[in-house]
Structure 1
Amino acid sequence: MKFTKHLLILCIFATFLTSAQNQEISLEDIWSGTFRTEGMDALHSMKNGQQYSVLNFDRVAGSTSIDVYDYKTLKKVNTLINSNEIEPITYFTDYTFSDNESQILLATDVEQIFRRSSLGKYYIFDTKTKQVTIVAEEKIQEPTFSPDGTKIAYGYSNNLFVKDLSSGKTTQITFDGEKNKIINGITDWVYEEEFGFVRAFEWNADSNKIAFIRFDETNVPEFSMDVYGSALYPTQDVFKYPKAGEANAIVSLHLYNLKTDKASEVKVKKAYKDFYIPRIKWTNNPDVLSAHYLNRHQNELDLWLIDAEKNTSQLVLEERDKAYVDVTDNLTFLEDNSFIWTSEKDGYNHIYHYSKDGELINQITKGNWEVTSYYGYDEKHDKIFFQSTEIGSINRDVYSIKLNGRNKERLTNSEGNNRASFSADFSYFINSFSSASTPPEYTLNDAKSGDLIKVIKDNDKLSKKLLDYKMSKKEFSTIQINGNDLNMWMVKPADFDASKEYPLFMFQYSGPGSQSVSNTWNSANDYWYQYLAQKGYIVACVDGRGTGFKGADFKKVTQNELGKYEVEDQIDAAKQLGKLPYIDASRIGIWGWSYGGFMSSNALFKGNDVFSMAIAVAPVTSWRFYDSVYTERYMTTPQENASGYDDNSPINHVDGLEGDFLLIHGTGDDNVHVQNTMRMVEALVQANKQFEWMIYPDKNHGIYGGNTRLHLYTKMSDFIDDTLGDKRDVSEDNKVEKVKIKG
């Protein structure tokens, strides 16, 4: 059944590639939601393993509901809550169940702080009494049920609080929290951005202890951003931001005992100097906590087990790497407190099984491919479920395997990107599938065999809508550059004529471990590339050395020299593509955002004989300006590696600018500060280099809001037309035919 459906979609796609599509994609189409896909929001498998809940939005009524569906029939069996039927909530945007599912935490009036952090008003809905209780009158952070559902812990004003849900009493458990000085239980800016988490506290299984990380930011340098707003005078946003080589927050691990109402600091036996604690997690023993300790260079990761009652600690695992060790969320403790762990120590990311004392029992997965997601372990059937690149680095498939590493089974069969969400008892999984030719579809599958049970949701309406548009196929291939077969995609005009010459516009990101060439459905940028293709451009993307999912050596070759090998690969790829008979080698451009903007700047300055233009959006222009955790992971500190920082910084290569350059940044970018662009501008001015630039007031690293994205992509599209478009008059006498670019 699945094969038939995908075959049908492929046929539809092939049909609209060859049929006479007349409608052209506009920038307004892209940014107005014309090509929006349908999805499943906030999917949660119910504890019984036979049902799941989703968050449904009724845009007409302006309400939200949590609806429960049966896995077998896919029919809705219950609406747990509808915001139209309760007071005082009119709308909520997320929900979390207590462990026994008798209570639901509802998020309302949420406002973003940084990329992952937010403040909000939270309410508890009792599924039996239908009563709603507010957690706190103030906007709070990261409210979390205790495992027994009797309490909620949360952060407020840099301190931690615990609310008893029976009595309604709230207890403050830390008291030294202060803005830009001390944070308890909530991560600082750099942990949130680079270690990918906000809640830095954890309940134990017995609901009587809370472990939390304390951040002392006192000595971390401050960064300030002007906020222009709409008032007569601008204000400033001041926050702690450790740049490479500067002081980090001093972190410490603490335990709060609810029985004694006391907090104590945890100190492990090893003497660490300048370290990180990027993860904490309780084991199945309610008195034993695990903690990751990572040195500042991030090439030594230690896993410690801490006995909260005996006040002892045990080092159970040491990960070492010449470059760096990745931090993941894949640590899983089994019933006997042995644990599952992922590591790149054999050259590829794989799954390992260790005893509770850290002795290696066995390596579970092996091969020249990467485990990309770990889904969990079904102890009843002795099966681990995971996602990997075994069928190709641009694809993803779901697998199961025994704990002993035997009986591996591929559970998904469609080539593209498969991502699973398992039922609580691992009897079913909902597979989210897409490819470059198939928009996202959600299917119910049997976890034992992977067999399709039913289609839950698809995007066939979007597929049919696209039949009316001029669309080009995204062609995947590899290109051999500097001894490596690099993944590449290319989009050509729908009316491509190999006898003509076309300008080439390249996109890349290129950051360590990233991937831009993947067999997945269109993002908004993909529709922009279609827009450019219909105007007569060829668009291409090459994942060079340093990108991910092709082994540790390929990924870590850029260590200590960010911007060297990646830039060489983009320049050499452009040279090779420029030799194709249908590419006009005199009109090759490149663009990128963030790390990609760092790359596109360098590519233009260092490859001025290849690239005639570049666009850099929110670029890093010197790694000296970027944060400590990310930058030092790949570069160590500027004090140790000055040449690595400076030899490949675009601001030090502005003399090489000969083509056209567009520089874009938002002034409210808390991540890659606009300082990067200002220093680049000054360097260009002093080198007497002409360029164009665009500043978006108060916009963050994403540069969005209102018409901002439409304006941004209009600006870039016009710049591409002005610099790569063939506006030359070609006489009949010279017999050279050039494709005309629509301006």
Structure 2
Amino acid sequence: MKKFTLCFLLAGSAAFAQQNFTIEETVMGGRKYAPTTQTAQQWRKNSKSVTYLSSDFSTLFEKSAATSWKETPLATKADFEAALKSKITTDEFTVRTFPFAIDWKTANTFETEVAGKKNNYKVTYDVVAKQITNVVTYSNEGAQAKFASNGNVAWLKDNNIRITSNGNIIEVTNDQNPAIVNGSDYVHRQEFGIDRGMWWNEAGTQLAYYRKDETMVGNYPIINWNEREAVNKDIKYPMAGMKSEEVTLVIYDTKTGNKVTVQTGEPKEQFLTMVSWEPTGKYIFIGVLNREQNHLKFNKYNAATGAFVKTLFEEKASTWVEPQHALTFVPNNPSQFIYQTDFYGFNQMYLYNTDGKLLKNLGYKDVVVKELLGFDAKNTKINYLGTANNGLDKQLYQVDIKSGKTVQLTSVSGMHTASVSDDGTMVLDQYSNVTTPNEISVIDVKSKKATTLVKADNPFTGKINMPKMELVTITSADGKTPLNGRIIYPGNFDATKKYPVMLYVYGGSHAQLVNNRWMGGGGYFDYYMAQQGYVVFTLDNRGSDSRGKKFCDVNHRNLGVNEMADQMKGIEFLKSKSFVDADKIGVFGWSFGGFMTTSLMINHSDVFKVGVAGGPVIDWKYYEIMYGERYMDMPQENPEGYAKTSLLDKAKDLKGRLLVIHGAQDPVVVQQHSMNFIEACIKAGKQVDYFLYPNHEHNVSGKDRIHLYAKVADYFNVHLKK
């Protein structure tokens, strides 16, 4: 049923004294003990050179095949700042580092964004001439700026769109009601892969944008306690089964000033996703997903009139359809595009033409495409990062568009981040695994010869007493699915002793906690708790990421049920170990993990003695439509599922010590969840502990996170370890 797949010992063999992490290092340790690397590295355009920033971020360095990969400075912060102040004399700048986010446009020039005291700028910098060669300006009031090829800039001022064109500002929208939101990326609560709300056509003459009408969505109160008298800030929160926002897509023509609303039709409660301009600008494509999220129509529209042209293809499912990616058009071929979908089992690529004909399946085995990197120089091959080794690894692949043949370009087991040079002859490969902190090399595609640029030492050697860690494989509750797990042994482990357990859990979609990367994907707090004498265990149950759609589908309409069953298989594994104290098992998780923590504490109250649930979902009817209804359907459609997974009427079954933590301004899992659960516990006569972080939303960040981890550790120490 179970087997060990990978094992390693992080601690070095140094004989001198080593220490445990401090509680501060559970938050700051990632910086302090970061393995040696090359920050912001990338290929220089049209070259066999890699650029990256110095450790103090003051200098842009280069390593080139022409100099046998010797490190040489290319430009400095002082160079860039001098060029900036020389070119833009009407504004003031504070340049603290060399720009992190640079986009090479030619062998010698890159684009980057900078903020002045008066305005924001997108500048082009020449690293040879040490000059700014082009400047695009927009207001410093602007947010979510989108740049067009012709120099136009679209940006947001509150809930309205402005365009800066040739120095003039155009008011595209002027809605006074803040519940009418234009151009924002916060549409459909950023589900369905939405990361923007405005799209320029290739010519920069037309701007497509979301218009979100949420006047019909109820106001939800979020209290700010910092004012002399507490102030309420209403947000729009569309709860499952209730009224949803209504979104349309509008196209604005900069030459005529005309606006056209794309005719996406009825009902108004639908989701508009995957917005993509055809390269010619004549058409725009939109994925129209129904409120039930089980029927996607991918439609083609006339950009000039907004008229519906045709449905290219449809996807229907008995569970859900979840579009995540806009189209990627094949360069120099406006009639062909790449479409990504997990509809057939794994998120993979498919080649279509603009009439909707499927030309080629570009998928490979059970590889899940994680990131599409682009095309080779001849536009005949596509490079992408995808999964391997049952989701534990990530590798670089290349697929030939015409033949569909796929080649794996990286080979060492681990989590790779890689890219291919413009001429396609070299791979810049960075990876880590459970025994390799960080390694960066350049691989010759033809000869497979690798030249190492960085090989990091173990940053903990001689400093930190790191516990032993193993990656394990456990069979799921269905008896046939392998699950990835991670066990971290207590510091100074003695197999003859018995130790308490902290199960760290998430369990929800689009997240993966266990990887074949440095530290096994574990966080510093996991290792801290192991150093304090706990067995720390994590399992990616069915429903988690990187394993395909069927891996998630089993949870439809019953969130938490199969996830808990899998987690209990992990508990069986732990109980089979002689060093595990079966009477001292606790669980900690946040968000979906908070839901899982509370569910495990209630449904398996004889097993779990202590739990800490952060930002927990308590009843899915209080969660938002876009995520909640995807997995649970509407409460009206699935009353049995909502009742079965709700924890409100099950508070009476709580036996152990439970600490519930919530951010008092949480707009994601609203505080109503935990407040109603506390009330249910009171009515059931159950003691439960509750703690609020008044100035935090869904996550507790910054230095306050140190306070959070100290509280969690203390709760386990007091109630489980004693």
Note the C-alpha offset of 1:310: 6.2
Q: Is the 8 A contact 1:512 1:555 kept in 2?
A: yes
Q: For residues 645-664 of structure 1, what are the structure 2 equivalents within 5 Å?
A: 645-664=642-661
The 3-state SS of whatever aligns with 1:571 is helix
Distance 1:430-1:500 versus aligned 2 partners, 3 A rule: same
Matched, 1:547 2:548: no
The 3-state SS of whatever aligns with 2:483 is strand
2:482 counterpart (472, 481, 485): 485
Partner of residue 258, structure 1: 254
For the residues of structure 2 that align with 1:307 and 1:65, how far apart are their CA atoms?
48
Partner of residue 91, structure 1: 95
Note the C-alpha offset of 1:265: 0.9
1:106 counterpart (101, 113, 129): 113
Note the C-alpha offset of 1:599: 0.2
Partner of residue 377, structure 1: 375
Partner of residue 208, structure 2: 211
Matched, 1:472 2:476: no
Q: For residues 598-637 of structure 1, what are the structure 2 equivalents within 5 Å?
A: 598-637=595-634
Q: In the comparison of the two structures, how many residue pairs are matched? A: 693
The 3-state SS of whatever aligns with 1:647 is helix
Note the C-alpha offset of 1:561: 0.7
Per-residue CA deviation, residues 663-708 of structure 1 (Å, 9 max, x unaligned), is 11111222112222111111111111112222111112120223x1
Which amino acid counterpart does residue 419 of structure 1 have in structure 2? T
1:409 counterpart (398, 401, 407): 407
Per-residue CA deviation, residues 34-75 of structure 1 (Å, 9 max, x unaligned), is 32455555556554355565566847xxxx676676576463
Distance 1:643-1:485 versus aligned 2 partners, 3 A rule: same
2:565 counterpart (565, 568, 579): 568
Which amino acid counterpart does residue 396 of structure 1 have in structure 2? K
Per-residue CA deviation, residues 424-475 of structure 1 (Å, 9 max, x unaligned), is 55554432312233223433344566643441x4543xx2443332112320
Q: Is the 8 A contact 2:148 2:200 kept in 1?
A: yes
For the residues of structure 1 that align with 2:456 and 2:248, how far apart are their CA atoms?
48
Distance 1:458-1:228 versus aligned 2 partners, 3 A rule: farther
Q: For residues 571-590 of structure 1, what are the structure 2 equivalents within 5 Å?
A: 571-590=568-587
- Segments of structure 2 that go 5 or more residues without pairing to the other structure are 1-5, 86-91
Please tell me the root mean square deviation across aligned C-alpha atoms, in Å: 3.1
Note the C-alpha offset of 1:14: 6.4
Note the C-alpha offset of 1:636: 1.1
2:235 counterpart (236, 239, 242): 239
Q: TM-score with structure 1 length normalisation?
A: 0.86
Partner of residue 146, structure 1: 148
Matched, 1:325 2:327: no
Which amino acid counterpart does residue 188 of structure 1 have in structure 2? Y
Distance 1:199-1:373 versus aligned 2 partners, 3 A rule: closer
Distance 1:445-1:171 versus aligned 2 partners, 3 A rule: farther
The 3-state SS of whatever aligns with 1:550 is coil
Q: Is the 8 A contact 1:186 1:198 kept in 2?
A: no
For the residues of structure 1 that align with 2:584 and 2:496, how far apart are their CA atoms?
17
Partner of residue 509, structure 2: 512
For the residues of structure 1 that align with 2:362 and 2:709, how far apart are their CA atoms?
46
Note the C-alpha offset of 1:326: 2.4
Distance 1:135-1:198 versus aligned 2 partners, 3 A rule: farther
Q: TM-score with structure 2 length normalisation?
A: 0.88
- Segments of structure 1 that go 5 or more residues without pairing to the other structure are 1-9, 111-119, 728-743
For the residues of structure 2 that align with 1:258 and 1:331, how far apart are their CA atoms?
24
Which amino acid counterpart does residue 646 of structure 2 have in structure 1? S
Note the C-alpha offset of 1:218: 1.0
1:25 counterpart (14, 17, 21): 21
Distance 1:699-1:558 versus aligned 2 partners, 3 A rule: same
Distance 1:379-1:328 versus aligned 2 partners, 3 A rule: farther
Note the C-alpha offset of 1:77: 2.8
Distance 1:405-1:295 versus aligned 2 partners, 3 A rule: farther
For the residues of structure 2 that align with 1:428 and 1:260, how far apart are their CA atoms?
47
Which amino acid counterpart does residue 267 of structure 1 have in structure 2? Q
Note the C-alpha offset of 1:417: 0.5
Q: For residues 334-353 of structure 1, what are the structure 2 equivalents within 5 Å?
A: 334=330, 335-336=332-333, 337-353=335-351
Q: Is the 8 A contact 1:191 1:278 kept in 2?
A: no
Partner of residue 356, structure 2: 358
Partner of residue 3, structure 2: none
Q: Is the 8 A contact 1:502 1:537 kept in 2?
A: yes
Q: Is the 8 A contact 2:194 2:324 kept in 1?
A: no
Which amino acid counterpart does residue 282 of structure 2 have in structure 1? D
Distance 1:109-1:602 versus aligned 2 partners, 3 A rule: farther
For the residues of structure 1 that align with 2:685 and 2:18, how far apart are their CA atoms?
46
1:719 counterpart (710, 715, 721): 715
The 3-state SS of whatever aligns with 1:127 is strand
Q: For residues 175-214 of structure 1, what are the structure 2 equivalents within 5 Å?
A: 175-176=174-175, 178-179=177-178, 181-188=179-186, 190-192=188-190, 194-214=191-211
Distance 1:15-1:648 versus aligned 2 partners, 3 A rule: closer
Distance 1:283-1:716 versus aligned 2 partners, 3 A rule: same
The 3-state SS of whatever aligns with 2:523 is helix
Per-residue CA deviation, residues 317-359 of structure 1 (Å, 9 max, x unaligned), is 2122221222222621113321212222332222222222111
The 3-state SS of whatever aligns with 2:598 is helix
Note the C-alpha offset of 1:495: 2.9
Q: Is the 8 A contact 1:511 1:595 kept in 2?
A: yes
For the residues of structure 2 that align with 1:427 and 1:263, how far apart are their CA atoms?
46
Distance 1:645-1:256 versus aligned 2 partners, 3 A rule: same
For the residues of structure 2 that align with 1:19 and 1:473, how far apart are their CA atoms?
17
Distance 1:291-1:75 versus aligned 2 partners, 3 A rule: farther
Distance 1:370-1:134 versus aligned 2 partners, 3 A rule: closer
Q: Greater CA deviation, 572-581 or 258-267?
A: 572-581
Q: Is the 8 A contact 1:391 1:397 kept in 2?
A: no
Partner of residue 156, structure 2: 155
2:284 counterpart (282, 289, 307): 289
For the residues of structure 1 that align with 2:316 and 2:221, how far apart are their CA atoms?
37
Per-residue CA deviation, residues 156-204 of structure 1 (Å, 9 max, x unaligned), is 121212112xx4111112222642x111111336433x24544211111
Q: Is the 8 A contact 2:246 2:268 kept in 1?
A: no
1:135 counterpart (110, 134, 137): 137
Note the C-alpha offset of 1:271: 4.4
Q: Is the 8 A contact 1:95 1:107 kept in 2?
A: no
Distance 1:54-1:235 versus aligned 2 partners, 3 A rule: farther
For the residues of structure 2 that align with 1:13 and 1:400, how far apart are their CA atoms?
34
Q: Is the 8 A contact 1:141 1:156 kept in 2?
A: yes
Per-residue CA deviation, residues 467-515 of structure 1 (Å, 9 max, x unaligned), is 3321123201112242133211101124322222211111110002432
Partner of residue 693, structure 1: 690
Q: Give aligned-pair identity as a percent.
A: 28
For the residues of structure 1 that align with 2:385 and 2:392, how far apart are their CA atoms?
13
Which amino acid counterpart does residue 106 of structure 1 have in structure 2? E
